[in-house]
């Protein structure tokens, strides 16, 4: 049996390497729906080959480099027997990995083509270890290798939310284990729960060991780029913040102007907390951004700005250089810094992003919700608790995916009733509402008939006796008139 590990970022490679070092992939998988706990029998043959399948999913691939060429990546790649490139395999088809949707009738031909290109015999059993199972190319790979068992490795916070797209049943029935980084204390992932997938956390020690290994190969680069900037003070150190950028405008979530202003807000937030140096690290998949306004803001604030756009993971910078503060929007690096490295992390611009992300079902909503609720810039400690976080995530999850999460409706209703309670119970009730109401949109609550909706369905008694489409159309017209009256008040 041969394992194929799909990865599209350096961080995913780190998590896969940590799982291999921790022995998580030594035992073959088995579909969880069969009651196997996700793993094959103990006497099942061990994997004979581990193949790293590299995919470049960047919006502008020509402007991005492969993560396997990053400093230190070669030592991680050595955990695999060989490396194959998905983009090269798809090049004759003139298709981007994210838009790869082979026709059903072509699946046997595509499987034969990929097996031949990647040196796989027809008799070789395959185990797929994929990321982002609800989108392509993961879905396409599962469809092509229709007999393969499937594991999922999740490197970020989306695993704590619902499955946002419908996964082909033939893929879901072969799901076995979800390997995830435990970044949210006390919360279990909800991704793929409809297929009874087994959740297994990665070992934190294995993860940090791989990050340190990667950092050893980046030490000279970090010293050359940041050593003089961070050490230019009589004491030899200056308080500094690491600002991590994202590619929100490239995804169409906000405009490029709004994203530039968001980065300026992050720099201002760092300066307000006494930071003398800000190291800005753009997202590796982001297209080139405007840095002129950022330097102007730094000059106005009297601080030093260093743009660090080399292919070094934010976690490596955090591990080796220990910044005094991590600032970002809703990057996973914020939770990694806070939960694993116990460093202060500050989320900036979350109100804008909570409103901008559309539709409500957008899978970025769960990471944004988690980081907005937790990353307040405070110093984390072992006693840090967020008693309402699970209830909040339950309500947001149901609003995002009511069909897949129908069993969560009662719990979501209870929480939303407290959030949007109109009774005057004092300052505590008002503070609770102010804290949590921003995570929900009235239109979505109205569509799901949940507490906090702008109106309730209205049907006069004389309409109830009608049948068929007449009732539906009459009720819809009545609701439209009610909404118009509310909007014009």
Reading the chain (489 residues) residue by residue, the pLDDT tens digits are 999 999 999 999 999 999 999 999 999 999 999 999 999 988 888 999 999 999 998 766 666 778 998 889 999 999 999 999 999 999 998 899 999 999 999 999 999 999 999 999 999 999 999 999 999 999 999 999 999 999 999 878 999 999 988 899 999 999 999 999 999 988 999 999 999 999 999 999 999 999 999 999 988 888 888 887 776 544 457 899 999 998 888 778 889 899 999 999 999 999 999 999 999 998 776 666 678 999 999 999 999 999 998 889 999 999 999 999 999 999 999 999 999 999 999 999 999 999 999 999 999 999 999 999 999 999 887 556 688 999 999 999 999 999 999 999 999 999 999 999 765 566 666 788 888 999 999 999 999 999 998 865 544 544 444 555 666 677 777 777 777 766 665
Say how many C-beta atoms besides its own lie within 10 A of residue 406's C-beta. Answer: 10
Three-state DSSP class for 185? Answer: coil
Three-state DSSP class for 86? Answer: helix
**Which residues neighbour 45 within 8 Å (Cβ) at sequence distance 6 or greater?**
1, 28
Start-to-end C-alpha separation, the chain: 67
**Which residues neighbour 47 within 8 Å (Cβ) at sequence distance 6 or greater?**
1, 2, 3, 25, 26, 28, 127
Return the CATH architecture of domain 219-374. 3-Layer(aba) Sandwich (3.40)
Which residue, chain included where needed, has tokens 């009720």? 475
* pLDDT the model gives residue 223: 87
Say how many C-beta atoms besides its own lie within 10 A of residue 394's C-beta. Answer: 20
87 burial level (CB within 10 Å; 0-12, 13-18, 19+)? middle
Ranges of each domain in the chain: 2-208, 219-374, 389-447
Which residue, chain included where needed, has tokens 């769960």? 366
State if pTM tops 0.85.
yes
* pLDDT the model gives residue 309: 87
What is the spatial distance between Cα 169 and Cα 390, in angstroms, rounded to a whole number? 29
Q: Strand 149-154 relative to strand 126-130: parallel, antiparallel, unpaired? A: parallel
- Is residue 353 a contact partner of residue 252, using CB atoms and an 8 Å limit? no
* pLDDT the model gives residue 464: 45
* pLDDT the model gives residue 247: 82
Which residue, chain included where needed, has tokens 């793993």? 39
Residue-by-residue DSSP string for 229-283: HHH-STTS---EEEEEP--TTTTTSS-HHHHHHHHHHHHHHHHHTT-SEEEEE--
* pLDDT the model gives residue 43: 87
* pLDDT the model gives residue 211: 97
């Amino acid at each position: 049996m041969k394992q194929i590990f799909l990865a599209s970022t350096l961080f995913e490679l780190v998590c896969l390497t940590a799982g291999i070092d921790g022995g998580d992939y030594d035992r073959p998988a088995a579909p969880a729906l069969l009651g196997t706990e996700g793993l094959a029998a103990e006497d099942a043959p061990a994997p004979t080959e581990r193949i790293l399948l590299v995919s470049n999913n960047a919006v502008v691939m020509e402007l991005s480099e492969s993560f396997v060429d990053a400093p230190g990546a070669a030592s991680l790649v050595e955990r695999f027997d060989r490396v194959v490139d998905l983009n090269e395999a798809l090049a004759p088809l003139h298709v981007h990995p994210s838009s790869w949707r082979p026709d059903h009738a072509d699946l046997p031909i595509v499987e034969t083509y990929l097996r031949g290109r990647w040196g796989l015999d027809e008799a070789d059993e395959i185990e797929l270890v994929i990321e982002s199972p609800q989108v392509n190319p993961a879905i396409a790979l599962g469809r092509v290798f229709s007999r393969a068992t499937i594991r999922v490795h999740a490197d970020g916070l989306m695993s704590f939310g619902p499955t946002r797209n419908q996964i082909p049943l033939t893929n879901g029935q072969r799901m076995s284990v979800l390997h995830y980084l435990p970044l949210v204390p006390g919360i279990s992932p909800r991704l793929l729960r409809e297929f009874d997938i087994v959740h297994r956390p990665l070992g934190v020690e294995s993860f940090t060991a791989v990050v340190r290994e990667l950092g050893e190969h980046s030490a000279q680069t970090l010293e050359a780029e940041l050593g003089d900037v961070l050490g230019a003070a009589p004491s030899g150190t200056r308080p500094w913040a690491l600002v991590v950028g994202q590619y929100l405008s490239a995804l169409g979530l906000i405009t490029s102007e709004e994203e530039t202003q968001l980065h300026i807000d992050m720099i201002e937030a760092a300066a307000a907390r006494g930071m003398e140096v800000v190291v800005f690290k753009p997202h590796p998949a982001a297209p080139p951004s405007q840095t002129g306004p950022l330097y102007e803001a730094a000059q106005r604030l009297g601080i030093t700005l260093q743009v660090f756009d080399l292919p070094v993971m934010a976690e490596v910078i955090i591990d080796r250089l220990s910044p005094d503060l991590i600032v970002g929007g809703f990057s996973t690096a914020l939770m990694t810094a806070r939960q694993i490295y116990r460093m202060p992390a500050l989320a900036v611009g979350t109100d804008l992003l909570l409103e901008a992300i559309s539709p409500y079902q957008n899978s970025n909503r769960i990471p944004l919700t988690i980081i907005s609720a937790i990353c307040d810039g405070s110093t984390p400690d072992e006693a840090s608790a967020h008693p309402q976080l699970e209830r909040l995530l339950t309500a947001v999850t149901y609003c995002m995916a009511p069909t897949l999460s129908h069993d969560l409706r009662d719990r979501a209703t209870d929480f939303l009733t407290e959030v949007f309670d109109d009774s005057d119970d004092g300052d505590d009730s008002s503070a609770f509402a102010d804290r949590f109401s921003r995570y929900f949109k009235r239109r979505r609550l109205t569509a799901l008939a949940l507490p906090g909706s702008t109106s309730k369905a209205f049907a006069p008694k004389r309409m109830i006796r009608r049948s068929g489409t007449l009732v539906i159309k009459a009720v819809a017209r009545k609701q439209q008139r009610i909404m118009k009256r509310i909007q014009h008040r």
